[in-house]
Amino acid sequence: MLTKRIIPCLDVKDGRTVKGIRFKNLTDAGDPVELGALYSRAGADELVYLDITASHENRNTAAELAKEVAKELNIPFTIGGGISDVRQAASILQNGADKVTVNSAAVRNPGLIDELAHAFGSQAVVVAIDAEDHGDHWQVYVSGGRIPTERKLLEWAREVTSRGAGEILFTSMNHDGTKSGFALEALQQVCESVPIPVIASGGAGTMDHFREVFSQTWCTGALAASIFHYREIEITDLKKYLIDHGINMRI
């Protein structure tokens, strides 16, 4: 049985880690490199860095962040935000990141996924999907959750997989920052729709929420931010709790 992954997410704005609720009302949570090193020592399986305003402000993700993070970490990490071509992705990967993640640029230019997978292999390409529950469907948003698109969650998940994505990071905008639990039903629908790993994001607030997402869906990883940033849950304690409840974890 594959081990499940605990993945702290560091949303970065102007060089600082920030956290909000439903993508709004951002507050400072610390230095992203220092926090990443702390999580690495604390037992995190991977890290994800997202420059949450890069797409909205039409900026490129700085490869410098990858270089600084790589100096401090001994676990895999992914960087995303504003990546719109192979050249930008290459710079990030060459500076130490293990994977890149694309979101808005991939929705606007789906062929970007094919190009990235061809250049670096599917294992290095994560497609992030931000979606909101509209009752009869989940609608995909871009630009940090600011702009709705005509895409629907499941059809887009299938398309990114067919184009070569190696992993999907699905964030429920309804749950983001609320600490009310993951969007379990939607997550499982995504898992059943694609043959690649799916990371759950949006809504983690308690250890039991992680138990639920790993026991009630096929997600291979669960991502959270504020509960780790503000030391509400320690990663070591979380992993022990999950192991005690029959979830296979790496210690």
Helices (H), the chain: 32-42, 63-72, 86-94, 104-108, 111-120, 153-162, 184-193, 207-216, 226-229, 235-244
The answer to whether 16 and 24 are in contact (CB under 8 A) is no
Known active-site residue 11: yes
Out of 11, 45, 51, 176, the active site residue is: 11
Residue 73, Cβ density class (10 Å: 0-12 exposed, 13-18 middle, ≥19 buried): buried
Most distant CA pair in the chain: distance in Å?
46
Find tokens 């500076």 and name the residue: 95
Out of 45, 98, 130, 176, the active site residue is: 130
The answer to whether 35 and 10 are in contact (CB under 8 A) is yes
Residue 127, Cβ density class (10 Å: 0-12 exposed, 13-18 middle, ≥19 buried): buried
Q: Is the dihedral of CA 128, 134, 139, 143 positive or negative?
A: negative
Residues 6+ apart with CB under 8 A from 92: 61, 63, 66, 79, 83, 100
Residues tagged active-site: 11, 130
